[in-house]
Amino acid sequence: MKTKTLLSAFCSLALVGLAGALYINNDTSADDIADNRITAAQASPADPAAIARGAYVSIQGDCVACHSVPSGKPFAGGYGLKTPFGVIYSTNITPDVKTGIGNWTERDFFRAVRHGKHKNGQFLYPAMPYNAYVRMSDNDLQDLWAYIRSLQPIEQTTPTNTLGFPYDIRLAMLGWNLLFFDNATLEVDPSRSEQWNRGRYLVDGAGHCASCHTPKNLLGADTGRYLQGADVAGIHAPEITGDPYRGIGAWSVEQLQQYLKTGTNHQAVASGTMGEVVEFSTQHLSNQDLAAIAHYLKSLPGSQATPPEVLAASTPVMRRGGEVYEHNCMACHNVAGEGIDGMVSGFADNSGIRASSHTNLISTVLIGSRAVITEHNPTGAGMPSFDWKLNDADIAAVLTYVRNSWGNAASEVKAQDVAGARERLGVQSPMQSGF
């Protein structure tokens, strides 16, 4: 009898705890500050200063990149985000009454952005990074709302997501939020400088950097390895902490700021997904905000990875890689991997080259790359593809060579890794063996 009583009490406490957690997790009272009467379509024009501030907040959040398709109408949605669970399409966030958010109020907007709640009550998928946007301030969201409702309404229906069962059950997001959504604002750390706090606010809030750069668990939630690099949608988002081996600790604040502003610096060239971030977001941020981001990121200890032993230059794979490099890479990347400042990536002492994943390196050699074009770097130099020329063993050898030369030390790239990437990318086999 006593055992049953204790068990019943334990279960009751567990249920009370679960109910409390659900309440706290789903508490949207912070959004009550927003107006809930006037819709976007009904609202009179906002203060031009608020619209301008909101446009800048939109740039911080890179909203246009996700809510637009390439060469499509801005903010009209339709961009397909590939996830391990299927494709999730971004929505139309123009003030169109029929297909956009013209019937939404400011409070509807707040709850969607900060709490992942649609106007109709449905849960949003965290592909919309509300778990980061919850950190954003009331003022920034009010300005963002002023900007969004000032946009030209565009009628464009969003494609249907292709999520399979059970990931297509939106109610399951209630459990996901309970487990992984930290429903809390970002408090200022009084022990840190104003610049550091501003950088953290931009990185963890509107910038939602963790969405790509923090490793995910099997359910797509962030792990505890904050900003320590992650594989996302077939690419590797590298570590962006102050760790000198795999992060950006060896870069100065000015070099990191230059990369975010121009897409290039002494060592790296932005392309692909990061190129889009630079194109649509970071190049347009103020120098003060870029410096704050750089200052904050460099303050993070990161993975503190221990470098492996460098492969000896006398090993067969290193000798072969050196030969491939001399015949195919040296003309642009130079004799000692110096690259060309602002145009061609430098390999020497490069944390991106020795990243834990070599996915990006293999893909770049196979299909080539095109640097982002920015206001301050309009050249946008490109690298040709080598899928047609180099076989899998030669690509593996040259990447192993680069990852273990000029101050680098990293694991060997295998021919089967290249073969797998070749199949996944659907690129051609080399016309002949060797280089």
Region class of 233: left (phi > 0), else alpha (psi between -120 and 50), else beta: left
Question: Tell me: the pLDDT tens digits for 192-247?
Answer: 999 999 999 999 999 999 999 999 999 999 999 999 999 987 889 999 999 999 99
Q: Is the pLDDT of residue 146 over 60?
A: yes
Tokens representing 153 are 């309404």
**For the segment 236-246, what is each residue's pLDDT rounded down to a tens digit?**
999 999 999 99
The pTM assigned to this predicted structure is 0.91
pLDDT (tens digit, 9 = 90+) per residue, 85-113?
Answer: 899 999 999 999 999 999 999 999 999 99
Q: Whole-angstrom Cα distance, residue 136 to residue 133? A: 5
Whether the pLDDT of residue 15 is over 50: the answer is no
3-state secondary structure of 104: coil
pLDDT attached to residue 64:
95
Rounded-to-integer distance, Cα 193 and Cα 329, Å: 44
Q: Which residues, at least 6 apart from 66, have a Cβ–Cβ distance to it below 8 Å?
A: 79, 81, 90
- Pairing verdict, β 80-83 and 235-237: unpaired
CB 287 within 8 A of CB 238: no
Q: Are 356 and 245 in contact (CB under 8 A)?
A: no
Strand 230-232 and strand 235-237: pairing? antiparallel
- 406-417 per-residue burial string, b: 16 or more CB within 10 A, e: under 16: bbbebebbbeeb
Map out the domains of the chain with their CATH numbers. 28-180 (no CATH), 194-299 (1.10.760), 316-425 (1.10.760.10)
The string of pLDDT tens digits covering residues 267-287 is 999 999 999 999 999 999 999
- Asked if residue 5 has pLDDT above 70, the reply is no
